[in-house]
């Protein structure tokens, strides 16, 4: 049986394969937080160091992330969360995904397809604040107001603009001219904030102070709700905001090798597709293959294609559409799918199903604390700066999540994706997502927490990163650094990162693949716990402005002293007190 202790010896485990970079993982003795928003990592790290639990830390980081990367997530968006509670070993998921307003109709968007992409009619009812509140009420250990303080500090005092922030705003600065409030709050004289700029958002700080006082009601009723309705010309009404509800859902569960997979159910497609692909791949000895070889890429790409074919046909909000979850994650179905694999050519379609929309401009947070609590949060406003609308006087950037619905088989969304009626617009419905927050258990305790931003690329990013750790025994940092590829059935092409050598590309083309190169595929944020060494490890993906924030409260034990772990909690000798 493979042991996670092997992650300690990254340099000794190097084998033939492809890597985007080579770094050492971050280590910690008392917990680990990893996020795609590096400037926000200190918020959760501080909470953990002050005695808060994993959920407290994730909430603080979620609010701070919306301040630091307002183009990716924030108060005007939504989230998914997967939680492991160490006190009773339970696992659950929280759905705080945005919903279609009551007045939204499929007919309107068919006649006005451009309006679903940006502007007032692209905005869905946000749920992030209610989601954070629900997590705190069920699992939080620190006062609510304390969890908002780091975000308020960042918004009111400012934070330093670094390369990722500068480049993202530079890409969209021209489009922000049509939205004066967004341009005012997010640019400097209409251009991207220069490197080193201290970015202050006082309106947002005031809104966060309001959330401190009002909790889940802050955006649901009162002056901010009035401002949101006015900013959207009542496309999202005050009644829509007041009626919004989060939903606790049963997670998607699967197994792979000696590990248990806990992931997000519909309206996310991520958990089902992840388990479905792992079921198929469990029939192969991946660890004996050359990582990054054409043989390896072909096997995984074929598996991806089969899963995404199902995504196009079968997925939507399970409260509105009967998603056949149990069939799709069953081993019987995996047998049928595995039989379709052809080592000498591409998998053939069962039918020509169009692909469904996805989400991007997203943020992920992974946390494990010293007591064995774990949480994975993925949050989003969809595309960069969402609808491009900032609610005047609040600093809230509103999502354009309506674009994640399907408005017709020939009408593509912002990412060139179309979809089926399973994901059609309907009042109160949640649009389909690719977000895949995931916790991996071994013997009932969390050993990995993972997720990623970047639309449909999220699902295959999580898949490959887990395989890198479980099958190839990569350490946390090497697992997220390794070059990736992606296939989502439609469009029928294989997307690869630049590190793949010419001989691999030529062999894949000979198998019939049309290749497309992307410089960045996803951004895996991986927290690992090694129970044998009683250590936490963090892998922060350098493809984004990511950071791993360790927690080190305990003193260092001498080599002669025994350090024992119960679950993830450190139960130590005198030299290593809690």
Neighbouring C-beta atoms of residue 426, cutoff 10 Å: 18
How does 59-77 read in b/e, with b if 16+ C-beta sit within 10 Å? bbbbbbbbbbbbbbbbbbb
List pLDDT tens digits, range 70-98: 999 999 999 999 999 999 999 999 999 99
Q: Would you state the pLDDT for residue 418?
A: 43
Residue in this structure with the two tokens 């909470």, named with its chain if needed: 47
Residue-wise DSSP of 468-530: HHHTT---HHHHHHS--EE--SSS--EEE-TTS-HHHHHHHHHTTPPEEE-S-----EEEEEE
The predicted model gives 184-206 an average pLDDT of: 98
Cβ-Cβ contacts under 8 Å for 509 (sequence gap 6 or more): 515
169, 409, 427, 564 from 519: Cα distances, Å: 18, 29, 38, 43
Q: Would you state the pLDDT for residue 1?
A: 38
SS3 57: helix
The predicted model gives 443-454 an average pLDDT of: 97
SS3 467: helix
pLDDT(398) > 70: yes
Catalytic residue among 61, 185, 232, 362: 362
List pLDDT tens digits, range 133-180: 999 999 999 999 999 999 999 999 999 999 999 999 999 999 999 999
CA distance 173 to 178: 10
Most confident range, picked from 73-77, 105-109, 556-560: 73-77
pLDDT(209) > 70: yes
Q: Would you state the pLDDT for residue 23?
A: 80
pLDDT(417) > 70: no
In this structure, is residue 318 part of a structural domain?
yes
The alpha carbon dihedral of 66, 67, 72, 77 has a sign of: positive
Which H or E element spans position 262?
A: strand 259-263
Q: Would you state the pLDDT for residue 513?
A: 97
Q: Would you state the pLDDT for residue 313?
A: 86
Q: What is the pTM of this model?
A: 0.93
In this structure, is residue 134 part of a structural domain?
yes
In this structure, is residue 252 part of a structural domain?
yes
366: tokens are 């992974």
Residue 564 pLDDT level (bands cut at 50, 70, 90)? low
How does 462-495 read in b/e, with b if 16+ C-beta sit within 10 Å? bbbbbbbbbbbbbbbbbbbbbbbbbbbbbeeebb
pLDDT(511) > 80: yes
In this structure, is residue 173 part of a structural domain?
no
In this structure, is residue 172 part of a structural domain?
no
List pLDDT tens digits, range 266-275: 999 999 999 9
CA distance 335 to 337: 5
Q: Would you state the pLDDT for residue 558?
A: 78
CA distance 329 to 269: 12
In this structure, is residue 259 part of a structural domain?
yes
CA distance 505 to 514: 10
Least confident of 1-5, 71-75, 435-439: 1-5
- Residue range of the domain that includes 449: 1-158+200-552
Active site residue 362: yes
Q: Would you state the pLDDT for residue 573?
A: 38
The predicted model gives 313-325 an average pLDDT of: 92
Average pLDDT, the chain: 91
How many domains does the chain fold into? Answer: 1
pLDDT(353) > 50: yes
The residue that leads in pLDDT, 19 or 521, is 521
Q: What percent of the chain has pLDDT over 90?
A: 85
pLDDT(215) > 50: yes
Residue 555 pLDDT level (bands cut at 50, 70, 90)? confident
In this structure, is residue 210 part of a structural domain?
yes
The end-to-end CA distance of the chain, in Å, is 31
List pLDDT tens digits, range 251-268: 999 999 999 999 999 999
Cβ-Cβ contacts under 8 Å for 566 (sequence gap 6 or more): none
The predicted model gives 413-437 an average pLDDT of: 79
SS3 helix, strand, coil % of the chain, rounded to 5? 35, 20, 45
> Are 524 and 480 spatial neighbours (Cβ–Cβ below 8 Å)?
yes
List pLDDT tens digits, range 26-51: 999 999 999 999 999 999 999 999 99
> Are 445 and 369 spatial neighbours (Cβ–Cβ below 8 Å)?
no
Q: Would you state the pLDDT for residue 506?
A: 98
The CATH number assigned to the domain holding 271 equals: 3.60.20.40
> Are 69 and 42 spatial neighbours (Cβ–Cβ below 8 Å)?
no
In this structure, is residue 574 part of a structural domain?
no
Least confident of 18-22, 374-378, 440-444: 18-22
């Amino acid at each position: 049986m493979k042991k996670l202790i092997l992650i300690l010896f990254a340099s000794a485990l190097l084998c033939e394969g492809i890597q985007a970079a080579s770094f050492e993982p971050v280590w910690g003795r008392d917990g680990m937080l990893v996020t795609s928003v590096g400037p926000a990592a200190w918020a959760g790290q501080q909470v953990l160091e002050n005695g808060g639990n994993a959920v407290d830390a994730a909430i603080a980081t979620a609010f701070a992330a919306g301040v630091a990367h307002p183009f990716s997530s924030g108060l005007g968006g939504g989230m998914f969360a997967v939680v492991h509670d160490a006190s009773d070993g339970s696992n659950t998921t929280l759905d705080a995904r945005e919903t279609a307003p009551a007045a939204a109709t499929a007919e309107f968007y068919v006649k006005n397809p451009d309006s679903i992409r940006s502007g007032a009619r692209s905005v869905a009812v946000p749920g992030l604040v209610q989601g954070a509140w629900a997590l705190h009420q069920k699992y939080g250990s620190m006062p609510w107001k304390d969890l908002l303080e780091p975000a308020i500090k960042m918004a009111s005092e400012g934070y330093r603009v670094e390369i990722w922030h500068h480049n993202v705003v530079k890409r969209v600065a021209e489009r922000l001219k049509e939205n004066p409030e967004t341009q005012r709050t997010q640019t400097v004289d209409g251009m991207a904030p220069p490197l080193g700029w201290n970015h202050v958002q006082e309106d947002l700080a005031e809104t966060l102070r309001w959330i401190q006082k009002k909790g889940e009601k802050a955006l649901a009723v009162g002056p901010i709700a009035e401002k949101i309705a006015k900013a959207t010309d009542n496309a999202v009404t005050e009644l829509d905001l007041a009626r919004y509800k989060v939903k606790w859902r049963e997670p998607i569960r699967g197994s792979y090798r000696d590990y248990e997979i806990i992931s997000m159910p519909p309206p996310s497609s991520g958990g089902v597709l992840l388990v479905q692909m792992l079921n198929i791949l469990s029939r192969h000895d991946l660890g004996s293959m050359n990582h990054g070889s054409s043989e390896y890429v072909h096997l995984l790409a074929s598996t991806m294609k089969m899963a995404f074919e199902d995504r196009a046909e079968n997925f939507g909000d399970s409260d509105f559409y009967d998603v056949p979850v149990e069939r799709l994650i069953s081993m019987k179905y995996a047998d049928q799918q595995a039989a379709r694999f052809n080592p000498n050519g591409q998998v053939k379609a069962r039918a020509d199903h169009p692909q469904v929309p996805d989400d991007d401009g997203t943020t992920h947070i992974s946390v494990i604390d010293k007591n064995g609590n774990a949480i994975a949060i993925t949050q989003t406003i969809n595309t960069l700066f969402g609808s491009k609308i900032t609610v005047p006087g609040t600093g809230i950037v509103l999502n354009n999540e309506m674009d994640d619905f399907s408005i017709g088989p020939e009408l593509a969304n912002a990412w060139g994706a179309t979809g089926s009626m399973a994901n059609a617009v309907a009042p109160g419905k949640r649009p389909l997502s690719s977000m895949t927050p995931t916790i991996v258990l071994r013997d009932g305790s969390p050993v990995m927490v993972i997720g990623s931003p970047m639309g449909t690329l999220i699902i295959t990013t999580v898949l490959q990163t887990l395989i890198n750790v479980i099958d190839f025994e990569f350490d946390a940092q090497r697992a997220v650094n390794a070059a990736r590829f992606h296939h989502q059935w439609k469009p029928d092409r294989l997307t690869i990162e630049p590190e793949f050598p010419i001989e691999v590309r030529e062999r894949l083309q000979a198998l019939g693949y049309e290749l497309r190169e992307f410089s960045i595929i996803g951004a895996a944020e991986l927290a690992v716990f090694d129970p044998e060494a009683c250590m936490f490890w963090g892998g922060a993906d350098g493809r984004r402005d990511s950071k791993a924030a360790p927690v080190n409260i305990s003193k260092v034990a001498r080599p002669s002293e025994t350090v024992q772990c119960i679950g993830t909690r450190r139960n130590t000798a005198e030299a290593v007190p809690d």
